[in-house]
Structure 1
Amino acid sequence: MGKKLLVLGASGNTGQHLVKQALERDHHVTALVRDPAKIEIKHDKLSVEKCDVFNKEEMRPHLENAEVVLSCLGFPLQRKEPVPYYLQVAQVLSETMHEFGKRRVVFMHSWYTHPESRARCRGFFLKNFFLPYVIGQSLNGMRLSEEYLDSTDHLDYTCIQPAHLLDGPVTDKKFILNETDSCIADAAQEINRADVARYMLDVIDDESSYRKIRAIGVGVDVTDKAILTDDNHSYVPNCPIRISRADVARYMLDVIDDEGSYRKIRAMGIEGDDSYMAVIMEQIDEFKKVIFRN
C-alpha cells in the first residue's frame, strides 16, 4: 500500500523524477514548491502546494498529514560562508515533525560533504578548484545539517549523498553504498538524477538506512565507444575529459598484441561531445560566478 509522501524541492530536476516515480509506485504525494506552475504532472494522487519550507506555520499542516518526508532541495552557491539553508530546513523539519511524532525523513545531499573525503577526490581541477571554491560552501552547509541531524534522537533520517548528477533516464543499475566516507572509490563519478530518486524511494521503509549518512553510486560500465589516442601529447584534444576505468581496462587488453603501440607513451580517451576544453571552460565559468558574486 502506498504511503503519504511529502516532497520538498519537488519542482527541481531530481524532485520531478521523485514525484513521477512515487506516483508510479502508488504513493500519495504532496509536492511543496514556490511556484506550482513548475509542476506539470497531473495525477489523482498528487497535490501541489505553494509553501515556504522555512516557515513552521506553513509547514505544520503538511507535516501533520505526511508519513514520510523527502527533500531534494538545493540552494544558491555561496563563497565565504557555509550555505545556511540546509541546516535551517533540517531544523524546521526536526522541530515540527517532533510535535506530531513523525520520524521518517530522507535528504538528498552530495558526495564530499565530509571535508576529509575531498582529499580523495579524483581529478586535479575538481579537487583543487571546483570543490573548494565553487561548491565547497554548499558541501559545508550540508555537513552542518548532517551533524545537526545526528544530534537528534527523534528522527529516523537518511542523508543520501549521490555522485555528480546527470539528466539520464532511470536504470536498473545496482547501487554501491558507503557509510564510512562521503565518496565511493570504485563507483562511477556520475549518477542519473532518476536513479537517485529511485534509491530515495527504495529506502523509505528500510530500517537499516535509519539514522545513516550514506554515499551512493553506481558501477562503471564498459562501453563500445571508439578509443581516441594521441602519441604526441599527454592529452587527447577534442575528447571528453573523463573515461571510465572499465574502458581503460578494455583498451589495455586491446593493445597487448598491437605492435603499433610498442615503445609508445600514449594518451587515450573516448569519443563524445563534452571535449576536454569545453568541460574545463564550463567549470571555470562556474568558478567565476562564485568568486565574483556580489
Structure 2
Amino acid sequence: MDYLDIGQAADNKYYSSKRTLPLAIMKENAKEYQPLKINTIKTCSCKENNLNCLTAKEWIKRQIGVWEFYYEKRDIRDKTVHPATFPISLAKQVIELFSHEGELVVDPFVGSGTTLVAARDSNRNAVGFDLQEKYIKLCAERLSTQRIVGNAQQVAIEEDARNISNYFNEESISLIFTSPPYANLLNRERKNKSRRNRKNNQLGKVEQYSQDPRDLGTLDVESYTKEMGDIFEKVKPALRTKGHCVINVPDMWWENKRIAIHVYLINEMTKRGYELRNIIIWDKRNLVNQIGIFGWPSNYITMGVTFEYLLDFWKP
C-alpha cells in the first residue's frame, strides 16, 4: 500500500510537483506542517461564474430539497468495519453540486473514505483526515481498488481535525464536505427495540469510533458544538470566498430528551462567520428495513431514523 510517514514532510520528494501524493499519510509525532502539494484549480472549461460543471437538466434535479440515495456494492455497510457510513452517491451529489473538476474537496472527518471515493469518481482533488490509523488504512485500501478518473489526486491523512488548517493555503479549498461524529450519540450501549429483531449483533454494543479523548464522539453536545466551531473557524481562511461547507448530521434522543444537533451547529457555525444557505433533508426511508415502535403505547417518540440533515453553509 502506498503510505507515507508525515515525518518525511521536509523531504523534497514529498513536495516535488513530479510526484503523485500517496493514498495515505500516516502521522507519528509530527513536529511541523507545510501545505500539501495538491492542485486546487479547476481543470474544466466552465465559465468563471459557474458554480459547478452540471448541465441545466442535472442542476434542476438538485433543486428539490429532499434527497434520496441508494447504496451500491462499493459502499461499506458492515458496522464492524465502520459504525456510521453514508452512500457514495450522497457524497458525489454534494461534490458535483458545489465544486468543479480539478478543484479541492476536504473532509475533516473522513472515516471510511467515502468522500475520497466520490471525489475520485468526480475527478476532484480531495484530502480527508481522521484520528484513527485503521480508518486511514481503510481509505487507502478502498482507493487502491477504485478506477482512476482524470488526473485528480485523493489522499487520507492520519491527523486531528483541529490541526488540518496547517495543510492548506488561504482560499485554496472549494468545498468542505463531512459527516462528523454526532456528539456522543454512538457512545452508549444499543438498547432500543429496533435493534432487538435484527440479526446484526448490534444490541448491547457501543458503536463509537474510539474512546480517544480527542474524539468528538465522546463529548456532550455543548462541548462537541464548541469543538466543532473551533475546527471550522480555523479552517475557514483556507476555504474560498463563497465556497461551500456541507455538514451531514441527524438529531438524537438522550435520557428522554431530543437533542437538536442541527440547531446547535447552525447557531455555532453562524457565530464563527459562516452563513447558512440551505437545509437539505436526506430521506432514508428507502434504506430503513425495520422501525421500532419507540415510546409505544404511552409516549410518542420519533427517533429520526428515516431522515438526516445536510446543512449547507458558505463563507460569505
Same fold (TM over 0.5): no
TM-score (norm 1): 0.31
Bigger Cα Rg: 1
